[in-house]
Amino acid sequence: MTTIVSAFICNANIRDDRTLHKYLELGSLLLKANIPKIIFIDSEIYHFFKYYENDNTKIISFNKYDIYLYKYFKTLKNTFSLNTNFPNKDTLEFIFTMCNKTEWIKHAIQLNLFNTQYFIWIDFGIRHVFNCNNDEFIKKIEDLSNRNIYNKLRIGTIWNLDIEHYLFGIDIYKDISWYFAGGVFGGNIEELLKFSNETKNMCIKIINEKQNLMWEVNIWYLIYKNNTNIQFSFYNCDHNDSIIDNY
């Protein structure tokens, strides 16, 4: 059995194409999947979601300022800088949200409300990249419980991991990298806890050394290149149905 984990923070960025109402609509489809789920919801909008709780779904309210990265907000607010065409989207608070995915997974594992050995992170609004209809999307989420069991860190890749980042013409500390798809990852408890600890350590290291922070997929690439003791299991995908279909 597998527990699905997700989270949502409101007003972390501004997007013309993604209002708060739209995020709530997208996330509600994930919540309808009939498999064990632990969903962390910003306390400001918890009242919208508390009614989704049932035997398979636990909604946990949190204060975003309790996220460990927020203690670095004052340190970074004047030095944070990314090469992005969407500065209203790729805000510092949005980056904090992306980089905290592994902390939410860790918290879910510590709670282990459904007594499972396997956990999968799914971005709260991931429905928007799928080409299927809503019923098919929900079925894809539910089918994850019946997929192969991975005793490694299962994560989707887009770019070839054997090609160094500079050959793509990017600065790994400034430009988005798509070695990893980002929206879905999972595995067993042991590897996910390693991944969480490595991500937190890498984030703090970059904050201290670069006075900056980047997208979670960039952080994960640096962890991969750092030759940690994490056991990876890769699958090819893109930002479409394949991100779950190929898991």
Using one digit for the tens of pLDDT, what is the confidence trace for 120-176?
A: 999 999 999 999 999 999 999 999 887 777 889 999 999 999 999 999 999 999 999
The pTM is what? 0.95
Using one digit for the tens of pLDDT, what is the confidence trace for 15-45?
A: 666 677 787 888 999 999 999 999 999 999 9
What pLDDT sits at residue 146?
Answer: 77
- The ranges assigned to domains in the chain are 2-245
Rounded-to-integer distance, Cα 61 and Cα 109, Å: 16
> Which residues, in sequence order, are bridge partners of residue 113?
none
Using one digit for the tens of pLDDT, what is the confidence trace for 96-126?
A: 999 999 999 999 999 999 999 999 999 999 9
What pLDDT sits at residue 17?
Answer: 66
Judge whether 43 and 67 are in contact, CB under 8 Å.
Answer: no
Taken in order 47, 52, 53, 57, is the CA torsion positive or negative? negative
Judge whether 214 and 134 are in contact, CB under 8 Å.
Answer: no
Flag whether pLDDT at 13 surpasses 70: no
| CA geometry: angle 45, 49, 51, nearest 5 deg | 140
Contacts of residue 50, Cβ cutoff 8 Å, sequence gap at least 6: 59
Q: Which CATH architecture has domain 2-245?
A: Alpha-Beta Complex (3.90)
